[in-house]
Amino acid sequence: MSNSTLASPAPRAVKPPPPPGQPGAREQAPQSADGMKIAQTALQSLGISTRSPYGPFTGPPEYALAVSLIFTNATNQTIIVGTPPDHVLSTSILWNSLVHDKRFTQIPMSKAAPGDIITGSGWQQGADGYTGIVVDHGRIVSNSGKGVQDNSSLVEIQRRHPGMVFFRYTGVPGHRSYPLANAGFNPDEARVPAGQPGGGQWTSGMAPSTAVVSGGNPRTTAQEAPAAKEANPQPGKPTTERAAEASKLSELAQTYLEKAKEEDQAAALAVATSRMGDEYLRHKAAADSARSIAEELQRRAYILENGTEGNYRRLMLQQYGVNNPELNKIAAYYAEKFHDQATLNWLKLQHPAERPKIDTNGLAMMAFFPEGEAGEEASVGGGTEEESAFEKANKVEGADTSENDTATLKPYNEGSGHHVPAKSAFKGDSVYNPSTAPAIPNSELDRLNIDHDLVTGAQQRLYRSYAQIGKPLTWDAVQSIETKAIVKGGMSRAAAEATVSKAINALKAAGVKQPTRIPWGGK
Amino acid sequence: MPNTNIEEFAKILVQKVRDIAIQNCDRRLRPDATNIIAERWKHTVREGNVESVARVLIPDIVDATLTQFCRAIDQELLRLLYTASNGENANLPVDGLGELAGWYIGSDGWRAKYSKERFVDDFSDLK
């Protein structure tokens, strides 16, 4: 599971690029000491989990947050001027800031060097709001569902996300420095020691008693040190701690709304000056992202301010909706805030690694949560049956994506849903059975909020295009088309690739040799 | 209606087409929905009045419903036969190869081919 990567590995040194003329050398722009330090810090951060101090907003992994924290640790600067490092939660806003920040210079991909920041605004075709840091040998370190990982490369990025932009931190002489103290951030802030629960995590901005590792597993030091918690002296009213946090969230929401307003104005200006292309889209994406974050912050502030121990769950469900796939993470956040140990216990049951038994508190809470979620999870644990091909396939691939991001496949007859790949690609194959073929079950479409209609329409479009080239359908083409289709439906590219790969592996393992026809392609 | 077969059809129609279509559309309203249709809806709601919002939502919801109807056939939940004007029968789940929903919603599908009303091609960016 995702929290297995928390232990901090030993720091690794950045190898300097070979000198010109040496094997492996390539033309690179002069590298600054800052760049090497950023790369070094990135490598030292491998395996460390990051989290937003206010929980997930834009869905894991939080690329921008990880890059911001690494950059600040390395340079003692905030990556977005005037924004605390742990408040950088939007890739599009980060991108927009870097474009206008004179401390950074845009670098072509061919000249990327260790320490350069790679990012996409999130609106470009093929650049899905990703950001990371180039280290050595063309590798890229970025956040993932498993914390900071060395999980990509320039070659891969060039192939998958040609729209990405590289920024090099050069600093500007005389440029105003933004000391960390002013940003409410301490570079020497202690991290949870390796080997302990939450080991290696930055503690910046985190509530003192909670660490939610990637994947949403709540841990409470309350369980380890119950005396650390104080009972609310006035049950039914917010504690001063909650009221203060609500106020802080409201202020932060206001900052994001102002940022959204600025971006709206910039977008309007782009329209007024007939710059309807990239510039308009960039500002609009940044505005939408900021507005979305502000809305989330306002929701949280509202519940902290108006919720009590007795009614916060109802408020939470009203605010977020009972079918929200992030509900467990949201619940973890509030359960800690409201010192609700029963909910925390129940949430622990959602994590297979920590599901030793179902206690009565857990059962009581399951009754509170929407039907299906609890039931499905409860049926998972403890079995020792032999793994099916699906279970095996579900475990492979997707190493750089969170298990929560990828879809768990099931035979179609067990969960209905969306066939991956399209079943008509195997018409006439004696081995292929559409009833037992891999599918993203309806429960997973719902959990991941994948729009089935968009996936289907995208499949039709892409397979028809492929049919026009007149070649037989290959597994590689299936992988590519099905991935694009699921991305269209709302899944991240990495998760979609891993999901499709799992499905193809399952089919191959079942003995399906190759597709027999091109779906929507005629015969 | 006393005919149990028709009642069975009615139940599938309501539960597997109407209800699923509503659930699919509801998902587009969730805060975590980032797909192109959800974004279009959110954008419209932020910037439009009731009429303009409805103008965007009506074709999208109709399309979602009809796509789900086709999917129910593709999934063999609705095993329908269509009798063509020449008298021949088409077994929709079998002859349709499970591709009816795609033919309906796809870029150069039935909407584009036959509809005289507005719709958005959400797949024109795909190559």
Other beta carbons less than 10 A from residue A393's beta carbon: 23
To the nearest whole Å, the CA of B2 is away from the closest chain A CA by: 30
Contact residues on chain B for A323, CB-CB shorter than 8 A: 26-27, 30
CB–CB contact A324 B63 (8 Å): no
Peptide bond preceding A421 in cis form (omega within 30 of 0): yes
Q: What are the residue ranges of helices labelled H in A339-388? A: 341-349, 360-368, 373-378
Q: Taking the mean position of all CA atoms in its chain, how far away is CA B37?
A: 13
Return all residues near A113 (Cβ < 8 A) that are at least 6 apart.
A17, A28, A29, A31, A35, A107, A134, A168
At A149-181, the pLDDT tens digits run 766 777 777 766 666 788 998 876 554 433 332
- A507 touches A424 (CB < 8 A): no
Nearest CA in chain B to A327: B32
Cα separation, A483 vs A499, whole angstroms: 8
pLDDT at B59: 96
Distance between CA A165 and CA A131 in Å, rounded? 9
Contact A465 B127 (CB under 8 A): yes
Give the 3-state secondary structure of residue A490: coil
Number of residues written out for chain B: 127
Given B34, B105, B126, which is nearest A456 (Cβ)?
B105
Beta strands (DSSP E) in A48-116 are 104-107
Distances (CA, A) of A459 to A295, A393, B67, B105, B120: 33, 23, 14, 10, 17
Residues 6 or more apart whose Cβ sits within 8 Å of residue A84: A78, A183, A184, A185, A205
Label the pairing between strands A117-119 and A210-213. Answer: unpaired
Q: Which of A425, A427, A422 minimizes the C-alpha distance to A457?
A: A422
pLDDT in tens, B6-27: 999 999 999 999 999 999 999 9
Helices A63-75 and A91-100: crossing angle in degrees, nearest 10, is 40
> Tokens 């399906």 identify what position?
A512
Q: Measured between CB atoms, which of B24, B71, B97 is closest to A427?
A: B97
Question: Distance between CA atoms of A411 and A510, rounded to whole angstroms?
Answer: 12
Burial of A311 (0-12, 13-18, 19+ CB in 10 A): middle
Distance CA A475, CA A471 (A): 12
Q: How far apart are CA A433 and CA A288, in angstroms?
A: 44
A349-403 pLDDT, tens per residue? Answer: 554 433 333 332 332 232 233 333 333 333 333 333 445 555 555 554 444 455 5
What pLDDT shows up at residue B13?
96
Cis peptide bond prior to A370, omega within 30° of 0: no
Nearest CA to CA, how far is A471 from chain B (Å)? 16
Distance CA A408, CA A447 (A): 10
Instruction: Residue A320: list chain B partners with CB under 8 A.
Output: 31
DSSP class of A104: E
Residues from A contacting B (CB-CB < 8 Å) are 59, 125, 288, 292, 295-296, 320-321, 323-326, 416, 419, 422-424, 427, 434, 446, 449, 451-454, 456-462, 464-465, 484, 488-490, 519-520
Listed residue (A90, A108, A103) closest to A164, CA to CA: A108
Number of residues that make up chain A:
523
Residues of chain A with pLDDT under 50: 1-29, 52-60, 123-128, 175-229, 351-386, 396-400
Do A142 and A66 form a contact (C-beta atoms < 8 A)?
Answer: yes
- Position A172, amino acid: V
Beta-bridged to residue A148, according to DSSP, are: A143
A281 token code pair: 């889209």
Distances (CA, A) of A518 to A221, A465, A468: 55, 10, 10
Query: How far apart (Å, rounded) are the C-alpha atoms in residues A348 and A326?
Result: 15
**B56-106 pLDDT, tens per residue?**
999 999 999 999 999 999 999 999 999 999 999 999 999 999 999 999 999
Cα of first residue to Cα of last residue in chain A, in angstroms, is 44
Contacts of A180 (CB under 8 A, 6+ apart): A72, A76, A78, A85, A186, A187
> Which residues on adjacent β-strands are paired with residue A132?
A118
DSSP string, A131-168: EEEE-STTEEEEEETTEEEEEEEHHHHHHH-TT-EEEE
- A/B interface, count of CB pairs below 8 Å: 114
Residues of chain A with C-beta less than 8 angstroms from the C-beta of B123: 454, 457-458, 460-461, 488
What's the pLDDT at A287?
A: 80
Say yes or no for a CB contact (<8 Å) between B123 and A452: no
Chain A: nearest CA to B92, how far in angstroms? 14
C-alpha to C-alpha distance for A63 and A161, rounded to whole angstroms: 15
Answer yes or no: do B99 and A59 touch at CB < 8 A: no
Domain residue limits, chain B: 4-126
3 state SS of B66:
helix
Of A59, A461, A488, the CB nearest to B32: A59
- Token pair for B88: 């021949």
- Tell me if B126 and A462 make a contact (CB, 8 A cut-off): yes
- In B1-127 the beta strands, taken as DSSP E runs, fall at 81-83, 89-91
Of A195, A222, A205, the residue nearest A3 (C-alpha): A195
Residue B126: which of A59, A295, A458 has the nearest Cβ? A458
Q: Could you tell me if B116 lies within 8 Å of chain A, comparing CB atoms?
A: no
| Phi, psi of A24, deg, nearest 5 | 85, -10
Closest-CA residue in chain B for A486? B35
CA distance B51 to chain A (A): 23
CA distances from A44 to A191, A206, A213 (A): 13, 21, 18
- Residue A131 pairs in a beta bridge with A119
H, E, C per residue of A259-308 = HHHHHHHHHHHHHHCCCCCHHHHHHHHHHHHHHHHHHHHHHHHHHHHHCC
Long-range contacts of A203-206 (CB under 8 A, 24+ apart): A204/A53, A204/A69, A204/A85, A204/A86, A205/A53, A205/A54, A205/A84, A205/A86, A206/A51, A206/A53
- Secondary element (H or E) of residue A352: none
How far apart are alpha carbons B16 and B71 in whole angstroms? 9
Q: Which of B122, B75, B99, B119 is nearest to A464 (CA)?
A: B99
Q: Is B77 in contact with B18 (CB distance < 8 Å)?
A: no
Predicted pLDDT at A327? 75
